[in-house]
Amino acid sequence: MNDALDALSSHDPTWLDEEHARLMRGTRGDLPWSKHTAHRLDAATRATLATVWRARADAERRSAPIFATWLVDLTGAGADARVLSVTARAVLDEVRHAELFEDLARAYGAPERAPSTALPVMPDDPEVPLRWQAAREALSLSVVAETFSLAMLHALRDAAGDPLVRAVLARVVGDESLHARLGWTLLAQWIPHDDGLRAYLAAHAPSVLADYVAMVFGDPEALPDEAYDARLAAHGVLPQRTLWTLFETVYRTLWRPTFVRWGATLPEGVPRRSAQRGA
Ligand SMILES: [Fe+2]
Ligand SMILES: [Fe+2]
């Protein structure tokens, strides 16, 4: 007992290093770091890759508080413990992904810097029951964002020739597929018992898609006409237009048919923000 209390006042941070290392091990352990081929690239290509992987690390870091906020809303919505435990796991997964991608960014030469302080925006909707709000978050976070993340990381992994990048992407794909399934499973359980919720989600589906497109692609028509670059592809980077084509495929084959079944009115092509505003 005294030892335990003494430890509190010793201010020794070693335990924090050890516990952090233990929690990160699931993602960081036994990856083939020695097989990384970054040293074969020219400096400009390495700098491009450092920038891309650092931006991805920051996006992963922002995903942790998104899942943490969703965990709060799911708890208030009465989600069962299985849903809460997997959501809590996802918070930790995203911290792991951020660490992993930051390690990669540094391996390409990204400079040291303080951690990003960017926070996500997850607005409350006081007009609807918390269960509906948690379901709308399932739609935007899991059914749209994590599902596209899963499709994109699959494509990046398939194109990646570098053994380390391929292994990193394969590991993250495994986690993202659980994050995506969580939302699909939850909505499949909730929607059949709540016509009001189904109509609410159907009404929100177009704007959820349009907001995600604006966040990830900006204006898809204005994407740069980059040529496929085999060196970048080998290290996990494909042209934005290739990813946009992938997004359109997921829309056509998965999201649109599902949301139309819920009662949504959706155009043939992916909804855009300007169209949503009736411009
Ligand atoms: Fe992630
Ligand atoms: Fe995720």
CATH number of the structural domain spanning residue 160: 1.20.1260.10
Query: Closest-lying ligand to the alpha carbon of 97?
Result: 1
* Parent domain of 168: 37-276
| pLDDT tens by residue, 204-263 | 999 999 999 999 999 999 999 999 999 999 999 999 999 999 999 999 999 999 999 999
**Which residue blocks in 191-239 are alpha helix, DSSP H?**
195-217, 230-234
Q: What is the pLDDT of residue 278?
A: 42
| pLDDT tens by residue, 65-118 | 999 999 999 999 999 999 999 999 999 999 999 999 999 999 999 999 999 999
- Ligand 1: centre distance to CA 87 (Å): 12
- Ligand 2: centre distance to CA 144 (Å): 11
Dihedral class, residue 111 (left if φ above 0, else alpha if ψ from -120 to 50, else beta): beta
Give the tokens for residue 213.
């497109």
- Ligand 2: centre distance to CA 150 (Å): 8
- Ligand 2: centre distance to CA 90 (Å): 7
Q: What is the pLDDT of residue 277?
A: 47
User: Which of 62, 27, 246, 252 lies closest to 152, judged by CA?
Assistant: 246
In a domain, 1, yes or no: no
In a domain, 106, yes or no: yes
Amino acid found at 226? E
The domain tally of the chain equals: 1
- Ligand 1: centre distance to CA 162 (Å): 20
- Ligand 2: centre distance to CA 27 (Å): 13
Residues whose beta carbons lie less than 5 angstroms from ion ligand 1: 60, 94, 97
pLDDT at 139 over 60: yes
**Residue 174 — pLDDT band, cuts 50, 70, 90?**
very high
In a domain, 155, yes or no: yes
Give this prediction's pTM: 0.93
Residue 147 has a CB neighbour count (10 Å cut-off) of 21
In a domain, 20, yes or no: no
pLDDT at 64 over 50: yes
- Ligand 2: centre distance to CA 123 (Å): 20
**Cα dihedral sign, 231-236-241-242:** positive
Residues whose beta carbons lie less than 5 angstroms from ion ligand 2: 146, 176, 179
| pLDDT tens by residue, 182-217 | 999 999 999 999 999 999 999 999 999 999 999 999
Query: Closest-lying ligand to the alpha carbon of 56?
Result: 1
In a domain, 9, yes or no: no
In a domain, 23, yes or no: no
